[in-house]
Structure 1
């Protein structure tokens, strides 16, 4: 399985596999999925009730899926404020954003407390315009946040934006100091270690084969089964195998490249701390650097999974590496001679509003799910695990009643319309945003298609 250099680095530190489940066992809680949501939930449950018997199964190695392959941008949800307001109102949107905000520091505190070297650097998020059409694209959001005295963003001068990003293509921007970058696979492996130390029983190379939806659900695997009082589906895009979840998301790729180390040259550009950078596209450019001086750059240009069947579609070098590399070079032309040494891809569970949904699968109160993080789960899974914990423990609290639980989500079309439509909309967005780079307008049909796109960082109040 190909995962790029992120996961290779992590396995160098903690490569021993947990055992594969053999035979039948029972547990209070069985968590399906060894990524961020599953691991944070397991840890939070064990810290809340140490006597709880928690089993976690993972089809490969913990963190080998989307969690260990993303860009490592640990952002909060203030950029999603308008979408949250449309779901659950201003007061609950603020509470959720404050919880997501606190998750950024919680990651740092966790790493310090448990000696997890995840290369955590809290140096903020620079949200930029990379062409004139993107200037002030955030204004509808920040004005609303100002109205509620909740705006964490600071406008920066064009000179400061260019200095922070080290890129001449950066034209303007705003800055949120409460964001961080991490090496995501190292964080996932650290979470795995701590979960095991707390007594979570982890089984790797243990894929789910069937879920019996009984009062006491049974999780079947290739060589065994787990009878549990509660089951948690924390499978990211792989959760789309369940019919109730399939139409909540479209499974698409996050495509990434990484350069060779070039610390001296990168430092000279000014891009020399742990700031994470995005521009204002819907087909987002997002990037960061690493402590040893690489640029890691991502853009969702790759593949959609037909009928959400993932298989090995994303377990290979990035098929869109050439396009992602070209975009990287356009931001750092003076570094164009530095080779790209790794590319990889991974699935993400894209929801219409870019926000996850939580609830009970098919109405079964003993099967809990969380899905739809839309590529923004590094920090937000930390606070989302509070929701999972409360639903598992049947708590009647602010998290079990959270506005993200049992949303009336807008379902995506069935196949083949979802697959064909997703490709058409994404390709239209690329056309439109490429034309805007040259200060040109897209045609009417392209503009019509782009209006159908899910909400991104740039607020879309019509979604």
Structure 2
């Protein structure tokens, strides 16, 4: 038996979800699951991973009875409040090869790029108006020390014959992003942008059309680890041959997941619509933008001419427990807005109209992993997307669908489907040590922006940054 931590709703719905729900006025009045039910597969979680898993099971075998239970509404969690960056894994090619070997690392990177295309194709074929725009992703330097931080990723792809990245001169990056604070960058042409909540709600509609039984406002409270396993909700229960756990950071309280995933906050703000101002700055393309800071800044424009701007990694959890601070940005809003004002000083007078936040599931390697809970062949999970799951969740669905159906193909048998490859320290060391490291990262970010050296203590603590991030962030060193 495993008790699941209660999933709570964010204090403020994201701009994206507000827009989506305006088109579905009755979406939040769904009846919760009640009574006893039977299914071939029960998916817990109505975000991207859960919906893609349910859909891909149906694509592989339409006769399989799939039920999905969601604590809030589909898209109510990370899938409806992220930045809407649909990214591939080309930028992670080196780490994929280090962890999974040359052949599998390259295969996963290629498949991740194909997933971006597949998401756009599905939107077009099924009439999902999620504003999918394949404009790529600009990875930029907003601090002098970050110039060239992308060189290894560019070299790794080019050495293997893949033409993915275009290195841009500083003037070109400043023009395309609408701000001279950008000091250089590289354009990853494999990426796209999307309105994330509209994508999630669209996937829900397509899944229902394919026969998936979806129950919203039905939080899973307990998993009985028998054979077959049982998913208990507040008012009902589902007995299933296979259970797929796809609840993102909320899985981190489970003993098998706790040391492999660190729930962290990711905060976002959005401006008022300013289409004329964007035109004047020169930011007229559809690209997403992310800088090279460890507590990354990520931003893009919207269909109605806003800038949606986010900052990651501002708080983290003790024992994997997601507390109210994860659902209310509080004072963190000021820090996110301050970062926006620094990068876009010409827009200092533009008001912030929306703020929102929530947890992400940061793995130690900065990449997702999949497996069986406590080696139970009937309980599957996928977690650890680390804030970049919009595109890779499509692959997560393929992995979990193949495993649930016991296909023993390249997805079920992939080494990414063998649980976590690296663990964090035990709490309380992780929590209190992590707070110290985070403070050092914040200080280092300030020093990098000011082009000044960090002190020796900051440099020392910086060595304890998780391995998946360590190589991506320079330290403002003395001397």
**TM-score bucket of the superposed structures, by smaller chain:** over 0.9
Between 1:312-321 and 1:188-197, the stretch displaced more is 312-321
Contact 2:369 2:420 in 1 (8 A): no
Question: 1:317: Cα distance to partner?
Answer: 4.5
* 1:11 partnered with 2:53: no
Q: 1:70 aligns with which of 78, 82, 85?
A: 82
Give matches, 1:232-311, under 5 Å.
232-300=244-312, 302-311=314-323
Which runs of 5 or more structure 1 residues have no equivalent in the other structure?
none
The alpha-carbon distance between structure 1 residues 100 and 43, as it changes in their structure 2 partners (threshold 3 A), is same
Q: 1:323 aligns with which of 331, 335, 338?
A: 335
The alpha-carbon distance between structure 1 residues 353 and 151, as it changes in their structure 2 partners (threshold 3 A), is farther
Contact 2:327 2:359 in 1 (8 A): no
CA distance in structure 2 between the aligned counterparts of 1:459 and 1:397, rounded to whole angstroms: 33
CA distance in structure 2 between the aligned counterparts of 1:362 and 1:319, rounded to whole angstroms: 39
* 1:134 partnered with 2:162: no
Question: 1:458: Cα distance to partner?
Answer: 7.6
Q: In angstroms, what is the RMSD of aligned CA positions?
A: 1.6
Question: 1:140: Cα distance to partner?
Answer: 2.2
Contact 1:73 1:181 in 2 (8 A): yes
Cα displacement string for residues 358-412 of structure 1 (whole angstroms, at most 9, x for unaligned residues): 1111001111111100000001101221111111111111111112111452211
Q: 2:448 aligns with which of 436, 442, 457?
A: 436
Contact 1:256 1:318 in 2 (8 A): no
The alpha-carbon distance between structure 1 residues 33 and 417, as it changes in their structure 2 partners (threshold 3 A), is same
CA distance in structure 2 between the aligned counterparts of 1:195 and 1:339, rounded to whole angstroms: 38
Corresponding residue pairs, total: 461
1:308 is paired with a residue of what secondary structure? coil
* 1:392 partnered with 2:365: no
Question: 1:271: Cα distance to partner?
Answer: 1.1
Give matches, 1:94-243, under 5 Å.
94-243=106-255
Contact 1:318 1:344 in 2 (8 A): no
CA distance in structure 2 between the aligned counterparts of 1:311 and 1:432, rounded to whole angstroms: 27
Q: Match for residue 35 of structure 1?
A: 47
Contact 1:257 1:321 in 2 (8 A): yes
Q: 1:79 aligns with which of 84, 87, 91?
A: 91
Cα displacement string for residues 430-453 of structure 1 (whole angstroms, at most 9, x for unaligned residues): 111210111112122211222222
- TM-score normalised by L of structure 2: 0.93
Which runs of 5 or more structure 2 residues have no equivalent in the other structure?
1-10, 474-479
Question: 1:18: Cα distance to partner?
Answer: 3.6
